[in-house]
């Protein structure tokens, strides 16, 4: 009796049951709310772009992963990030937009990677960027971490660190050592500092043909770990006269002061001279964010400053700064560690059960009143035995049910049952609304400690 | 000096500037909020499905429109609606789900149609469905219009009509006339009743080889226009003994009573015997929703009852009922008639401007307080002349700005300016919060009359 077509989805695509989709959406809503609180306006670009647009910049690994296809005469791609569509959008609408242009976009992107645990082919990115016209004040580089801070704080994540570095500083440092032609290799190696031993690190650098004394200077540079003020002091004490180094150091110092002034606590941001974030894109401040107690997850929110957003599509110079939260991966990592609160299998705050057809109208009225008061209300409408109605309430694991029988209808009250404690109350409709407003708003955290 | 790549998107893809995206999202949020208020839980299926899944049912026009492509060994498609993914999801997770399963999904779907005014290749559908396991009470057919009613009412659309019909009633009626083999043709013709003359209608039906007397009975049947009670009465008075007709009539009557009991005003729903909604899918109640003063827009929210959701993927019988709002098309239709309120080019409620670096910290603190109180706050951070700061405020068309200079800082107040009226107030931080909470919540409607 088996059916011809087995229902399945492709590996690498996250699809959640309601009890997981609900906290997933709660997390997304908190991100969205915070992005809007900082004045980032929504943008929603198509998931499909013309290949000539999307491939202007891509290359290597990214290009291989792209979903590309023809439809009619069009050579098309699914977007693999939200930054290229932003570049295209800003270039296309540069005369309609007001700069600095602050936008957020939360959307799915596509990469046809080989599926493996923790990697997704379809995943949400939650991006904010601020784009200037010719200029963009450095203070916006400080604003980005303040958005990240408030967002993760609101998510109930306490122990996270926003790591900050500056590409000009790195560039200048390598120039001062005369190893700027090897900076790609050096940065890629330094990026592994947490995963390999110091001996391995030294050996890798020596293997690039860098002199031992220079290698040791690089090592001692990236190993500078202090509070932010002391790192700045130590960098100043290096007395490097390279112009890029000096600009980078001044920028880093200003950005750190700005972050502090914007109210981010000291414990949530720090200079990290080992982060580099690729090489062809960012030109100034760079950010990574780690969960302090789970560094193995890697960066959950990264980005930086770039000098020229849309050079492929316009001659206008559009500097910008932004970050992206990889929501699908973050959720997966938290979920696999059992940090996601999974309670109800329904979004409803309360389930209304009526004993018989006689109480239907009374129950419907009651439900309408609850909804008018923004209480999410499901009515169970199947005409089955009371026991089976309760059974449904148990299965969906709902916190509160309202039971409406002859007595309730005749005396114009409602019986409310707390399904966890078993407590039962007889309340007027207004009392129910007050009771639920108090109890459903005392939400348990989405993300557990 | 022109760039190699002209920034553009494919025709048929809606992409909005902030001043349009903001009301678009507001509409989507109201739909989402109402779906959740009725206890529909969120679902988010992948945009990419395996072709064998998606094409199990498709055919004809739909199949030609599908975006289909290969990646590695996989034959893939972009979803063309949210119903087939729902079928696949429910069949796949039938042991994990609790029935009746109420879900909403708001997502983009893809159809490679020839682009034309008002038709989109990528568009949002906003679906709700209730899926039963073997059974699903008829009362859920009444709940669907109550969700539609509250949603459109909250959107500020007053004059809309939910049109209701029943497929069993139509089927039984055609059987009673012994023209059931021509019912597809008849319904397709009857569907055009508003667009063609009665003579043309009669002629088309005659051309199908239907006898004149039968044609006249069909015409007088579909022309029954009365209040709902009288239509039910007239249908009863036809004294048709066909079993399907009798069941359909009883269902229609029950559903109408349920809708009334669920609080939908009489003026917002009516029986319409001319609606049919295709033929191979729906089996009972069917819905269309029209804007009473703009019938030319066609149905903005349609759906119905089906006996068996997922017969391609499972042997379990899964009856359901649901509707879908075609949000992208609805927005486009309202926008092209200038019914969409387009004010600010920013999501922010207020823009904070500080006169000089000396007031920066004070301004940052103030902005943080506003955000803690859920007021969307943008800080203008470019170090330019005051005139240029005001210029930016004018360009983004923002309602309120806060001006912070030496005086404000020294006396611990804020100057608030209403950019429309030109009024200016000097307020304490707490007074600003109270003032904005009052004024930004007195929102103008999103959809104009």
HEC string of chain B equals CCCCCCCCCCCCECCCCHHHHHHHHHHHHHHHHHHHHCCCEECCCCCEEEHHHHCCCCCHHHHHHCCEEEECCEEEEECCCCHHHHHHHHHHCCCCCCCCEEEEEEEEEECCCCCCCCCCCEEEEEEEEEECECECCCHHHHHHHHHHHHHHHHCCCCCEEEEEEEHHHHHHHHHHCCCHHHHHHHHHHHCCCCCCCHHHHHHHHHHCCCCHHHHHHHHHHHCCCCCHHHHHHHHHHCCCCCHHHHHHHHHHHHHHHHHHHCCCCHHHEEECCCCCCCCCCCCCEEEEEEECCCHHHCCCEEEEEECCCCCCCCCCCCCEEEEEEEHHHHHHHHHHCCCECCCCCCCCCEEEEECCHHHHHHHHHHHHHHHHCCCCEEEECCCCCHHHHHHHHHHCCCCEEEEECHHHHHHCCEEEEECCCCCEEEECHHHHHHHHHHHHHCCCCCECC
Q: Kindly list the residues from chain A whose CB atom is less than 8 angstroms away from the CB atom of residue B364.
A: 261-263
Q: What is the pLDDT of residue A1?
A: 42
A359-411 pLDDT tens trace: 999 999 999 999 999 999 999 999 999 999 999 999 999 999 999 999 999 99
Nearest CA in chain B to A365: B262
For residue A118, is it left (φ>0), alpha (ψ between -120 and 50) or beta?
left
Task: Answer whether residue B59 shows pLDDT above 90.
Answer: no
Q: How confident is the model at residue B4 (pLDDT cuts 50, 70, 90)?
A: confident
Partner residue facing A100 (CB), from B70, B97, B382: B382
How far is the alpha carbon of B210 from chain A, nearest alpha carbon, in Å?
Answer: 39
Range of weakest confidence among A435-449, B102-116, B430-444 = A435-449
Asked if residues A69 and A132 have their Cβ atoms less than 8 Å apart, the reply is: no
- Closest by CA position to B366, among listed B318, B427, B302: B427
Other CB atoms within 10 A of residue B441 CB: 8
**CB nearest A37 (choices: B43, B377, B381):** B377
Nearest chain B residue to A13 by CA: give it: B46
Give the residue from B264, B70, B118 showing the smallest Cα distance to A364.
B264
The CA–CA distances, whole Å, from A414 to A366, A432, B212 equal 9, 8, 59
Q: Which neighbouring-strand residues pair with B20?
A: none
User: Residue B164 corresponds to which tokens in the numbers above?
Assistant: 């209701």
Which residues of chain B neighbour A110 with C-beta distances below 8 Å? 48
Name which of A17, A262, A396 is nearest B364 (Cβ-Cβ): A262
Question: Could you tell me the two tokens for B180?
Answer: 């059931």
Share of chain B above pLDDT 70, in %: 97
Residue B442 has pLDDT above 70, yes or no: no
Cα of A53 vs its chain's centroid, Å: 25
B112–A72 CB contact, under 8 Å: yes
Nearest to B55 by CA among B66, B47, B71, B44: B66
- Which candidate in A37, A391, A433 is best for mutational testing of the B interface (most B CBs within 10 A)? A37
Residue B48's CB is within 10 A of a number of other CB atoms, namely 28
Residues of chain A with Cβ-Cβ distance to B129 below 8 Å are: none
Rounded to a whole number of angstroms, the distance from the CA of B428 to the nearest CA of chain A is 20
Q: How confident is the model at residue B63 (pLDDT cuts 50, 70, 90)?
A: confident
Token duo for residue A383: 């005409």
pLDDT tops 90 at residue B191: no
pLDDT of res. B1: 42
**Secondary structure (3-state) at A28:** helix
Question: CA B20 from chain center: how many Å?
Answer: 17
Whether residue B426 is preceded by a cis peptide bond, meaning omega within 30 degrees of 0, is no
Cβ–Cβ below 8 Å for A5 and B313? yes
Whether residue A36 and residue B140 make contact (CB cut-off 8 A), yes or no, is no
DSSP string, A143-158: HHHHHHHHHHHHTT--
Sign of the four-CA dihedral B325, B331, B334, B340: positive
Nearest Cα residue in chain A from B257: A361
Q: What is the pLDDT of residues A236-287, one digit of tens each?
A: 999 999 999 999 999 999 999 999 999 999 999 999 999 988 756 899 999 9
Candidates A3, A26, A78, A124; CA nearest to B87 is A3
Q: What pLDDT does B441 receive?
A: 66
Q: What is the pLDDT of residue A59?
A: 64
Chain A CB contacts of B103 under 8 Å are 18
Taking residue B81's Cβ as centre, other Cβ atoms within 10 Å add up to: 17
Of residues B38 and B275, more confidently modeled: B38
Select the residue from B1, B17, B18 to test the A interface by mutation, using most A Cβ atoms within 10 A: B18
Nearest to A245 by CA among A172, A183, A187: A172
Alpha-carbon distances of A41 from A98, A416, B19, B236, B402, rounded to whole Å:
12, 42, 9, 56, 19
User: Half-sphere exposure of residue B300, counting CA atoms within 13 Å on the CB side?
Assistant: 26
> What is the structure's pLDDT at A67?
95
CA atoms within 13 A on the CB side of A57: 18
Q: What is the pLDDT of residue A223?
A: 87
Residues from chain A that touch B308, judged by Cβ atoms under 8 A, are none
**A280 contact partners, CB below 8 Å, separation of at least 6:** none
pLDDT at B279 over 60: no
* Average pLDDT of every residue of chain B: 93
Instruction: Return the ∠ at Cα B264 (arms to B263 and B269), rounded to 5°.
Output: 155
Q: Which of A16, A34, A71, A401 best tests the B interface by mutation, with the highest count of B CBs <10 A? A: A71
HSE of B249 in the Cβ direction (CA atoms, 13 Å)?
A: 20
C-alpha atoms less than 13 angstroms from C-alpha of B283 in its C-beta half-sphere: 9
Cis amide linkage into residue A334, ω under 30° from 0: no
Which residue carries 């109408």 as its tokens? B256
Comparing CB atoms, the residue among A46, A72, A346 nearest residue B122 is A46
Q: Do residues B428 and B412 make contact, with C-beta atoms less than 8 angstroms apart?
A: yes
Tokens describing residue B432: 């600003």
Average pLDDT estimate for A408-415: 97
pLDDT above 80 (res A427): yes
Residue to substitute from A98, A332, A359, A409, interface B, most B β-carbons within 10 A: A98
B66-93 pLDDT per residue, tens: 999 999 889 999 999 999 999 999 999 9
User: β-strand A269-271 against A285-291: which pairing, if any?
Assistant: unpaired
Contact criterion met (CB below 8 Å) for B151 and B132: no
Question: What percentage of chain A carries pLDDT values higher than 70?
Answer: 97
Among chain A residues, CA nearest to B362 = A261
DSSP A66-96: --EEEETTEEEEE-S-SHHHHHHHHHHTTTT
What's the distance, Cα to Cα, between the start and end of chain A in Å? 47
Q: Could you tell me which residues are beta bridge partners of residue B266?
A: none
Chain B residues closer than 8 Å to A368 by CB: 262-263
* Under 8 Å between Cβ of A292 and A176: no
- Whether the pLDDT of residue B360 is over 60: the answer is yes
How far is residue A370 CA from its own chain's centroid? 33
- Residues of A within 8 A of B112 (CB-CB) are 71-72
More confident residue, B49 or B226: B49
Pairing, β B377-380 against β A74-78: unpaired
The per-residue pLDDT for range A82-123, each reduced to its tens digit, is: 999 999 999 999 999 999 999 999 999 999 978 788 889 999
Nearest CA in chain A to B13: A46
A125, two tokens = 């990115």
**Which of A43, A38, A91 is CA-nearest to residue B22?**
A43
Neighboring chain A residues of B37 at a CB cutoff of 8 Å? 371, 374-377
* Least confidently predicted of A69-83, A112-126, A166-180, A345-359: A112-126
B445 band by pLDDT with thresholds 50, 70 and 90? low
b vs e for B207-218, b when ≥16 Cβ sit within 10 Å of the residue's Cβ? Answer: eeebeeebbebb
- Answer yes or no: do B71 and A71 touch at CB < 8 A: no
CB pairs under 8 A between A and B: 266
Instruction: Return the residue of B nearest to A23 by Cα.
Output: B42
Q: How do the residues of chain A divide into helix, strand and coil, expressed in percent and rounded to 5? A: 40, 20, 40
Question: What's the pLDDT tens digit per position in A321-339?
Answer: 999 999 999 999 999 999 9
Exposed/middle/buried for residue B327 (C-beta within 10 Å: 0-12, 13-18, 19+): buried
DSSP string, A285-334: EEEEEEETT-GGG--SEEEEEES-TTTTT-SS---EEEEEEEHHHHHHHH
């Amino acid at each position: 009796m088996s059916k011809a077509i087995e229902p399945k989805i492709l590996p690498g695509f996250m699809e959640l049951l309601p009890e997981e989709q609900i906290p997933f959406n709660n997390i997304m809503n908190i991100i969205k709310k915070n992005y809007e609180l900082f004045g980032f306006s929504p943008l929603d670009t198509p998931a499909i772009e013309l290949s000539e647009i999307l491939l202007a910049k891509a290359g290597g690994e990214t290009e291989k992963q792209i979903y590309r296809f023809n439809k009619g005469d069009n050579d098309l791609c699914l977007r693999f990030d939200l930054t290229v569509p932003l570049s295209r959008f800003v270039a296309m609408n540069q005369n309609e937009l007001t700069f600095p242009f602050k936008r957020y976009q939360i959307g799915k992107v596509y990469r046809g990677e080989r599926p493996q645990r923790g990697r997704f082919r379809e995943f949400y990115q939650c991006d904010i960027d601020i784009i200037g016209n010719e200029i963009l004040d450095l203070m916006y580089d400080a604003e980005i971490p303040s958005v990240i801070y408030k967002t993760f704080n609101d998510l109930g994540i306490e122990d996270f660190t926003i790591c900050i570095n500056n590409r000009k500083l790195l560039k200048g440092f390598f120039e001062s050592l005369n190893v700027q032609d090897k900076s790609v290799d050096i940065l890629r190696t330094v990026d592994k500092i947490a995963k390999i031993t110091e001996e391995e690190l030294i050996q890798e650098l020596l293997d690039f043909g860098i002199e031992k004394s220079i290698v040791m200077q690089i090592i001692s540079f990236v190993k500078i770990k202090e509070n932010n003020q002391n790192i700045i002091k130590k960098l100043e004490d290096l007395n490097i006269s390279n112009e890029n180094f000096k600009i980078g150091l001044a920028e880093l110092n200003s950005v750190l002061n700005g972050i502090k002034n914007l109210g981010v606590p000291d414990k949530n941001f720090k200079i990290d001279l080992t982060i580099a974030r690729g090489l062809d894109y960012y030109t100034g401040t760079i950010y990574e964010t780690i969960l302090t107690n789970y560094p193995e997850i890697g960066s959950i929110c990264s980005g930086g400053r770039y000098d020229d957003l849309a050079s492929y599509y316009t001659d206008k110079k559009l500097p910008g700064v932004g970050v992206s939260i990889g929501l699908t991966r973050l959720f997966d990592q938290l979920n696999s560690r059992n940090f996601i609160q999974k309670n109800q299998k329904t979004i409803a705050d309360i389930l209304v059960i009526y004993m018989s057809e006689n109480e239907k109208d009374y129950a419907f009225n009651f439900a309408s009143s609850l909804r008018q008061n923004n209480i999410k209300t499901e009515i169970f409408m199947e005409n089955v035995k009371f026991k089976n109605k309760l059974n449904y309430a148990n299965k969906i694991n709902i916190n509160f049910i309202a039971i409406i029988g002859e007595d309730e209808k005749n005396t114009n009250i409602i019986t409310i049952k707390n399904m966890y404690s078993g407590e039962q109350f007889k309340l007027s409709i207004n009392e129910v609304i007050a009771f639920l407003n108090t109890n459903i708003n005392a939400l348990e955290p989405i993300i557990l400690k």
